[in-house]
Chain A
Amino acid sequence: NAGVTQTPKFRVLKTGQSMTLLCAQDMNHEYMYWYRQDPGMGLRLIHYSVGEGTTAKGEVPDGYNVSRLKKQNFLLGLESAAPSQTSVYFCASSYHGLAGAVGQNEQFFGPGTRLTVL
Chain B
Amino acid sequence: AQSVTQLGSHVSVSEGALVLLRCNYSSSVPPYLFWYVQYPNQGLQLLLKYTSAATLVKGINGFEAEFKKSETSFHLTKPSAHMSDAAEYFCAVSEETSGTYKYIFGTGTRLKVLA
Contact = CB atoms under 8 A, between A and B. Distances in A.
B34 A106 contact: yes
B32 A105 contact: yes
Interface string B37-59: 00001111110010100000000
A90 interface: yes
A50 interface: yes
Interface stretch (B11-19, B65-73, B75-83, B99-107): B99-107
Contact of B9 (A40, A50, A92, A112): A40
Place the interface of chain A in its size category. Answer: 20 to 34
Given A40-B9, A42-B108, A107 B43 contact: no
Given A105-B32, A105-B51, A42 B106 contact: yes
A58 B90 CA distance: 19
Contact of B43 (A50, A90, A105): A90
Contacts of B43: 4, 90, 109-112
